[in-house]
Amino acid sequence: MRHLVIAIGLSLWAGLAAAFEIEEERLFEAQSDGPVVSILSTTDTVVFEPVIAAFQARNPEVSVHYTVSSTRQVYQAIAEDAARFDLVVSSAMDLQMKLANDGLARAHGSQEVEALPDWAVWREHLFAFSQEPVVLLLRRDAFGNRPLPQDRSGLIEIMRDRPALFEGRIGTYDPARSGAGYLFATQDARQSDSFWRLAEVMGSLSPRLYASTGAMIRDLESGDIVAAYNVLGSYVAGGLSIGDAGAVVELRDFTHVLLRTALVPASADQPELGGRFLDFLLSEAGQTALDRDARLPRIDGRALTTNPHQRPIRLDTGLLVFIDPLMRDRFLQEWAAAVTRP
């Protein structure tokens, strides 16, 4: 094995990690002695490992300390504790935007940044490095020979027609517990009124609410649920384990595309190292590693034009709206009112 992967003793990083909950932590040690770039991320280590390997292939002297936490925790680590990570990678566009807008990110300019399309970068502070459609997962076998729904009204229709099939067998994120779920739900709500109809119909069928994508996929694969709404497509990029029995549907009325973003925090100890890793993520080599090995689709404007139903969630200050605590409370209240049966 080229890299010596070591689970680190907590003592070394205890001071750093004290204030927030860490899910995973690993040091990818360099071949030679050199600096350590510390990355705080919401992306699982297994997913990101090939990208780190590709980075170290080009930067053999740099060790990578990779810490995984939830989106909320990542946000808090930077916003409240000013944790000293050199790069912050997160799928929560809204929280990342909040960090950047509040001046907690550092400007970073480079050739790679220059090459990014306008929609994938915000003020040289926040950078998108992958674009992931948000999909509907279905169990094909549950539908018999009926055609699979291709848009939200189709989904509403089939749920209304066959409540027995769906009762207690629809899964979606709990927006109150999942940052991604909250982002998708708010974007859905702002995108179309059909979202609230969908929420009500789902609510009438006692949906299962998940905090993690993995659990939701597992339940679908085991047959506990027949539909999983708003799942981050990159989780099933390798296909479902149930093969043809499962279907990944990009809804035709609109399919949100999440941009996974990175920023160099203002509190970084070694911002140039963070910038170096960021530039690698945006470079051709990094994009290839992300796309091919990590199955996080590369930034590609053409993919959006050939799939007109795909709508990237706009990387702009509009994302701040639902971050507002009052707005969040209100939205969750409305959502709960629609989905949770009294």
Partner 1 sequence: MKVPLRFKSIRQRLVVLLLLAAALLSLLLFISVRAIASASVQASQDSILGAATIAIAEELRGGEEGVAIEIPYAAFSMLGSSGEDRIFYRILVGEDTVTGYGDLPMPVAELTGLEPVFYSRDYQGDPIRLAAVGRSVLVEGTPRRVQVIVGQTRTGQEMIISRMSNRAAALGMGFFFLSAVLALLTAQAVVGPVNSLAEAVGRRGPQDLRAVTRPVPEELAPLVSALNGLMARLTAALSRTETFIAEAAHHIRTPLATLRTHAEIAQRISEEQEVLARLREILRAADDSSRSAGQLLDHATVAYRTDQRAEEDLDLRAVMADVMRAAEPTAELKDLHFELSVPDGPVPIHADRLLLESAVRNLVDNAIKYSDGDDAIELRLTVDGGTATLAILDRGRGLGTMQGRDLTRRFARGSNVSDVVGSGLGLTIVREVARALSGSFRIENREGKGACAILSLPLA
Give me the residues that bind partner 1 (CB under 8 A), please.
100-103, 118, 121-123, 190, 314, 316-322, 324-327, 330
For 128, residues 6+ apart whose C-beta sits below 8 A from its C-beta are 116, 119, 120, 121, 259, 260, 261, 299, 315
Report the residue number, 103 or 308, with the smaller CB distance to partner 1. Answer: 103
Contact (CB, 8 A) for 219 and 225? yes
Report the residue number, 118 or 244, with the smaller CB distance to partner 1. Answer: 118
For 132, residues 6+ apart whose C-beta sits below 8 A from its C-beta are 91, 232, 233, 234, 257, 258, 259, 260, 296, 297
Report the residue number, 31 or 191, with the smaller CB distance to partner 1. Answer: 191
Nearest CA to 13 out of 52, 67, 63 is that of: 67
Task: Give min distance, CB of 173 to partner 1, in A.
Answer: 20
For tokens 């990818």, the residue is 28
Q: Three-state DSSP class for 249? A: strand
Task: Give min distance, CB of 213 to partner 1, in A.
Answer: 25
Distance CA(64)–CA(44), nearest Å, equals: 14
Report the residue number, 280 or 331, with the smaller CB distance to partner 1. Answer: 331
Nearest CA to 90 out of 238, 232, 249, 292 is that of: 232
The 8-class DSSP code of residue 176 comes to T
Task: Give min distance, CB of 308 to partner 1, in A.
Answer: 21
One-letter amino acid of 292: R
For tokens 């992967």, the residue is 5
Task: Give min distance, CB of 265 to partner 1, in A.
Answer: 15
Task: Give min distance, CB of 320 to partner 1, in A.
Answer: 5
Task: Give min distance, CB of 123 to partner 1, in A.
Answer: 5
Contact (CB, 8 A) for 220 and 246? yes
